[in-house]
Chain A
């Protein structure tokens, strides 16, 4: 019996025109949101672990009201139940505050065995929340897994680094983060979509977790965005059609820029 908490994030669609709000936080109003693509891999791996043995998958998110959509998607994929931590004071929280809220929620779940994360979010993309949650919970973290194997209470991962391929293992309660190389995430089936309607999603506030509003939010972040600037549009370049001399023309351009 393995109980896995999968922490997921509701993010602005990466294919839309993402921007910032007046308070320099990510604009989550003007752009449609969804379950972060990279978190789908974590849901998938958790479901596979449970399917290969027995257990349950609890999906956890921290975010505004709309973030319930991310939980719903994970439930449609096959997760058993959901937890949505929502509180107005969380708006603008940095990675440290987010990790504190997640850690408290995971502690409140209590009888979990593993905590799964995607490798990073697709909006802020720092990739540090899994390791921060592990640090806060005092748990081992095996991160950036390309392959995950759960064998009893031992988790083995393969991590494909730049200079070496490593095998890493840890035992007991622990945190795992997975990359998009772990294998394609399933689409919700019609049956899964129908079943998700009946699954429980509990809503917790900061008070439920015993967190003071003064520990989270934009005003209590440990760093501050001073300004943001849209990248100037690239000026239209020269496009030529290959008429037997495309390669030469390409090199002439490179030579004009002193690359050759």
Chain B
């Protein structure tokens, strides 16, 4: 079987769930080989099917933006001739993918939500135009480089050999140009990561700037918290949590929109969610066109009652 290179995202050494999803998807194509930059807990990669683990531990990858990682990954592509290269569809992942694809003269697909294989042909599925269309596409040149969005597969535990191989690549000076001069980690919210969460509870203009009811309801469901652009632009919630075209695009099992009218900019970020629920005072709000269940009412009274009810049922 042929190798499939899988770029692993492991901030602070901890492998993310979307990285494990990539290993599961890679097994549809061939034998997954994980590519890890920096020190990371590699044990989990073998548990999720990685046969080989290429570890590239050099300060250059943390000191400079994107280019060194792209150079190293492109070198691995040249050495291993993989059937495909899978990367997480994050800002950094997509940039690495683009540079690797150009260096390897291979076609690129970003933001894939599914990857299928039929008789050796790899087909990707993307959600485009604010989620109004799905597109099936194929790479027609080189080994496909595919950036895959979180929640595109359920990670499956399958024992792989997980053989760690240290790899050292000489990085050109040209790649050492965009220097990361400081990096301040953000305080963890203790909630699931927005794009990975099974449930997202979000708030908009209707919160009036106070997200406490939204956060309490999210916590009762073990959900991530999101915010509309209106709420972020008003300075009520950090941009990292913005759901929408210029923020995060989420596709959870359940999305609860509170005090959010449902402008196109927001819909672009959430309308592929499996189940959508909304609470809004305005019965004419466009968000109600999307919902499976909606409550016309004030989130300030509806959400506390719902939180209490969830907690009661959890007993």
Contact surface of A with B, Cβ cutoff 8 Å:
14-15, 18-20, 38, 94-96, 99, 119, 122-128, 131-132, 135-136, 138-144, 146, 156, 160-172, 174, 179-181, 221-231, 234, 237-242, 245-251, 253-255, 257, 259-260
Contact of B178 among A38, A140, A237, A249 (CB under 8 A): A140
Verify if B59 is at the interface (C-beta below 8 Å from A). no
Q: Contact at A224–B182, with CB atoms within 8 Å?
A: no
The 8 closest A-B pairs by CB, nearest first: A242-B297, A247-B305, A222-B107, A140-B177, A128-B98, A247-B306, A223-B107, A251-B309
Q: Contact at B132–A230, with CB atoms within 8 Å?
A: yes
- Closest Cβ of chain A to B219, distance in Å, is 13
Q: Contact at B245–A14, with CB atoms within 8 Å?
A: yes
Verify if B1 is at the interface (C-beta below 8 Å from A). no
Interface residue count for B (Cβ, 8 Å)? Answer: 95
Verify if B123 is at the interface (C-beta below 8 Å from A). yes
Q: Could you jot down 22 A-B contacts, CB within 8 Å?
A: A14-B268, A18-B129, A95-B98, A126-B110, A127-B95, A131-B66, A135-B98, A163-B185, A170-B177, A222-B106, A223-B141, A231-B131, A237-B276, A237-B293, A242-B297, A247-B304, A247-B307, A249-B295, A250-B293, A254-B254, A255-B313, A259-B253
Query: Which chain A residues border B290 with CB–CB below 8 Å?
Result: 234
Contact residues of A: prevailing secondary structure: mixed
Verify if B155 is at the interface (C-beta below 8 Å from A). no
If A166-B180, A174-B177, A254-B221 are given as contacts, then 5 extra A-B residue pairs at C-beta distance below 8 Å, sorted by A number, are A229-B136, A231-B127, A245-B305, A247-B308, A248-B309
Q: Contact at B138–A226, with CB atoms within 8 Å?
A: yes
Q: Contact at A224–B296, with CB atoms within 8 Å?
A: no
Verify if B231 is at the interface (C-beta below 8 Å from A). no
- Closest Cβ of chain A to B172, distance in Å, is 10
Contact of B313 among A164, A174, A180, A260 (CB under 8 A): A260
Query: Which chain B residues border A227 with CB–CB below 8 Å?
Result: 135-136
Which residues of B in the span 181-195 have a Cβ within 8 Å of any Cβ on A? 181-186, 193
- Closest Cβ of chain B to A11, distance in Å, is 11
Q: Contact at B94–A128, with CB atoms within 8 Å?
A: yes
When C-beta atoms are compared, the residue in chain B nearest to A223 turns out to be B107
Q: Contact at A259–B221, with CB atoms within 8 Å?
A: yes
Indicate with 1 or 0, residue by residue over B196-227, a CB within 8 angstroms of chain A CB atoms: 00010000000000000000000001000000
Q: Contact at A238–B313, with CB atoms within 8 Å?
A: no
Of A99, A140, A221, A257, chain B has the most CB atoms within 10 Å of the CB of A140
What's the count of A-B pairs with C-beta under 8 Å? 259
Q: Contact at A237–B292, with CB atoms within 8 Å?
A: yes
Q: Contact at B283–A164, with CB atoms within 8 Å?
A: no
- Closest Cβ of chain B to A195, distance in Å, is 30
Contact of A247 among B127, B129, B139, B303 (CB under 8 A): B303
Verify if B291 is at the interface (C-beta below 8 Å from A). yes
Contact surface of B with A, Cβ cutoff 8 Å:
11-12, 65-67, 70, 90-92, 94-95, 97-99, 101-103, 105-111, 123, 127-142, 144, 174, 177-186, 193, 199, 221, 239-240, 245-246, 253-254, 264-265, 268, 271-272, 275-277, 279, 283, 288-298, 301-310, 313-314
Contact of A166 among B130, B182, B301 (CB under 8 A): B182
Q: Answer whether A180 and B110 are a contact pair too, CB < 8 Å, given A224-B140, A237-B292.
A: no
Q: Contact at A241–B138, with CB atoms within 8 Å?
A: no
Query: Which chain B residues border A172 with CB–CB below 8 Å?
Result: 177
Q: Contact at A14–B130, with CB atoms within 8 Å?
A: yes
Query: Which chain A residues border B97 with CB–CB below 8 Å?
Result: 128
A257 to B303, CA, bound (A): 18
A169 to B107, CA, bound (A): 30
Q: Contact at A141–B178, with CB atoms within 8 Å?
A: yes
Q: Contact at B98–A247, with CB atoms within 8 Å?
A: no
Q: Contact at A231–B134, with CB atoms within 8 Å?
A: yes
A168 to B289, CA, bound (A): 43
Q: Contact at B254–A257, with CB atoms within 8 Å?
A: yes
Q: Answer whether A165 and B295 are a contact pair too, CB < 8 Å, given A127-B110, A226-B137.
A: no
- Closest Cβ of chain B to A259, distance in Å, is 5
A141 to B65, CA, bound (A): 8
Query: Which chain B residues border A125 with CB–CB below 8 Å?
Result: 111, 128, 245
A36 to B136, CA, bound (A): 25
Query: Which chain B residues border A131 with CB–CB below 8 Å?
Result: 66, 95, 98-99
Contact of B295 among A19, A95, A242 (CB under 8 A): A242
- Closest Cβ of chain A to B271, distance in Å, is 8
- Closest Cβ of chain A to B291, distance in Å, is 4
Query: Which chain B residues border A164 with CB–CB below 8 Å?
Result: 11, 183-186
Query: Which chain B residues border A253 with CB–CB below 8 Å?
Result: 277, 292-293
Q: Answer whether A143 and B65 are a contact pair too, CB < 8 Å, given A247-B303, A249-B295.
A: yes
